[in-house]
Structures are given as structure tokens and as C-alpha cells.
């Protein structure tokens, strides 16, 4: 996507295309140290969060961002469960994610089940997606992108909600099991666009198109939900 990405590892997993077999959480102070060393030396034009696992890790990330990159756009991908169903965020961390991380977000990118868990409301159609997005704005987020892959239909529609407008990003549903990491890929692609100085709408449009290409050209690896083609 034309940017240099630096990663702070929050967990080590043993996983394949079928499921996550084991997860080991990285201590929160080490997560924070990974972030600080990168931010203080190289800096960042955007920060994207993914699998944060615990309340202590979320708090460590927030404190580090406040101390090293207070004005940097924060894209929050609220990774709550794996594609195979395993819980990736401990239940006692939900409130911290809602009340502190979402509030700090320039953009939050939940799928429909994640939006339902964050807002405490059902998200089963476009009207409920829109209501959930507006609820996240009320929680403090600058913008919300609710992805529609879990909503039925031949066309998948993602909704980008800001105070000013609502934009739809639609694509035909692709008949493939190879969608492992789709949400993470989309949020990362949008973060890359924002880091390059694109508007939120342009970054979302470019990220959406990129993910569609990555799904269409997925290499078909593994016997379960295989990975996308990130070199599409």
C-alpha cells in the first residue's frame, strides 16, 4: 500500500486456517515498549490497533499513544473473535474498549457482530448498521465503518458513517471460504491511505477495492478459511 509498517506484537498465536490452537499474551509493558521505541525514533503518520486481548494491554496502548503520538489518527479494528469463533478479547476488557479506545478513535471498523457487542444492540441489517455507527460516534469516535460481510444478501455493503454523511461501499458477495483476516486487512489498508494523507473517504474506497482484489485472487491455501492475496 506504499507505506512502511511497524508492528507491536500483542500476542503470539498458534493457528491455521481452521482455528486458533493456543494464544500467549505479550506482557502489556512490553507492548508499550515496542510502541515507544518505534514512535520515538521513526514516528507514525497513522496508528492502527488490532488484537489487544486484555484490558491491561488496551490501557498500555492508550497511555503510549497519548504520550508519544497524541495527534496521530488512530484506526481501531475491534478484534473480538476470530473467524473460526474463538474469543480474542477477554470479556472484562469490553468496557475499556468501548469507553476509552473507541472514544479516542479517528475511525473504528467493526463487522456486524462486533458492532452489536460494542453497542449492545442487534446489527442484522443496514438500518441497524447505521444505528450502530451513529452510536459509536456518540461514544466519541470521529467515524465508524461497519462492514456488512455478516449481513445476508448477494451484495455486501459497508457503511462509513461520520457526522457529515453516510457513504456506502458495495461489492458482489464472493463465493469463497478464503477470507481469513479480511477485517484486519481492510483496517490496515485504510490506515495506510490515511498515513499517505488521503481523505477518509478516499482511503476507505482504496482499501475496499484492495480487499476485493485480495479476496478474488486468494491463493486457496489450507483446508479451512485461507488467507487473502495481499500482493494483489
**How does strand 166-172 pair with strand 155-162?**
antiparallel
Question: Which pLDDT belongs to residue 91?
Answer: 85
Distance (Å) of CA 134 to CA 93, 101, 165: 22, 16, 11
Nearest to 59 by CA among 87, 67, 206: 67
> What's the CA gap between 133 and 168, in Å, rounded?
13
Give me the residue label for grid cell 494491554. Answer: 57
Question: Which pLDDT belongs to residue 86?
Answer: 76
Give me the residue label for grid cell 456518540. Answer: 138
pLDDT band at 88 (very low <50, low <70, confident <90, very high): confident
Give me the phi and psi of 224, to 5 degrees please.
-120, -130
Q: What pTM was estimated for this model as a whole?
A: 0.96
Nearest to 187 by CA among 47, 20, 16, 10: 47
- Does residue 196 carry a pLDDT above 80? yes
**Mind listing the pLDDT tens digit for each residue in 19-44?**
999 999 999 999 999 999 999 999 99
pLDDT band at 193 (very low <50, low <70, confident <90, very high): very high
Domain 11-216 superfamily per CATH = Ribokinase (3.40.1190.20)
Give me the phi and psi of 181, to 5 degrees please.
85, 15
Residue 197 Rama label (left phi>0; alpha psi -120 to 50; beta): left
> What's the CA gap between 12 and 212, in Å, rounded?
28
Question: Which pLDDT belongs to residue 22?
Answer: 93
**Mind listing the pLDDT tens digit for each residue in 2-13?**
999 999 999 999
Q: Domain spans of the chain?
A: 11-216
Give me the residue label for grid cell 441489517. Answer: 125
pLDDT over 70, % of the chain: 99
The mean pLDDT value for 71-84 works out to 89
CB 21 within 8 A of CB 47: no
- Does residue 82 carry a pLDDT above 90? no
Distance (Å) of CA 206 to CA 3, 32, 202: 14, 30, 6
pLDDT band at 87 (very low <50, low <70, confident <90, very high): confident
Amino acid at each position: 500500500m506504499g507505506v512502511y509498517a511497524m508492528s507491536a506484537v500483542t500476542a503470539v498465536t498458534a493457528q491455521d486456517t481452521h482455528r486458533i490452537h493456543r494464544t500467549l499474551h505479550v506482557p502489556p509493558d512490553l507492548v508499550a515498549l515496542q510502541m515507544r521505541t518505534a514512535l520515538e525514533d521513526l514516528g507514525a503518520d497513522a496508528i492502527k490497533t488490532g488484537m489487544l486481548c486484555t484490558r491491561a494491554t488496551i490501557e498500555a496502548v492508550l497511555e503510549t499513544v497519548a504520550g508519544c503520538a497524541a495527534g496521530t489518527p488512530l484506526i481501531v479494528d475491534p478484534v473480538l473473535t476470530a473467524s473460526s469463533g474463538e474469543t480474542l478479547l477477554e470479556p472484562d476488557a469490553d468496557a475499556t474498549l468501548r469507553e476509552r479506545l473507541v472514544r479516542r478513535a479517528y475511525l473504528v471498523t467493526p463487522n456486524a457482530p462486533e458492532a452489536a457487542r460494542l453497542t449492545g444492540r442487534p446489527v442484522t441489517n443496514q438500518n441497524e448498521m447505521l444505528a450502530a455507527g451513529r452510536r459509536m460516534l456518540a461514544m466519541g469516535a470521529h467515524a465508524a465503518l461497519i462492514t456488512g460481510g455478516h449481513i445476508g444478501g448477494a451484495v455486501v455493503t459497508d457503511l462509513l458513517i461520520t457526522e457529515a454523511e453516510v457513504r456506502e461501499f458495495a461489492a458482489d458477495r464472493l463465493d469463497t471460504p478464503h477470507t481469513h483476516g479480511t477485517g484486519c486487512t481492510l483496517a490496515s489498508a485504510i490506515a495506510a491511505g490515511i498515513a499517505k494523507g488521503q481523505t477518509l473517504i478516499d482511503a476507505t474506497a482504496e482499501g475496499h477495492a484492495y480487499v476485493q482484489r485480495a479476496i478474488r485472487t486468494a491463493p486457496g491455501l489450507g483446508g479451512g478459511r485461507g488467507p487473502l492475496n495481499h500482493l494483489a
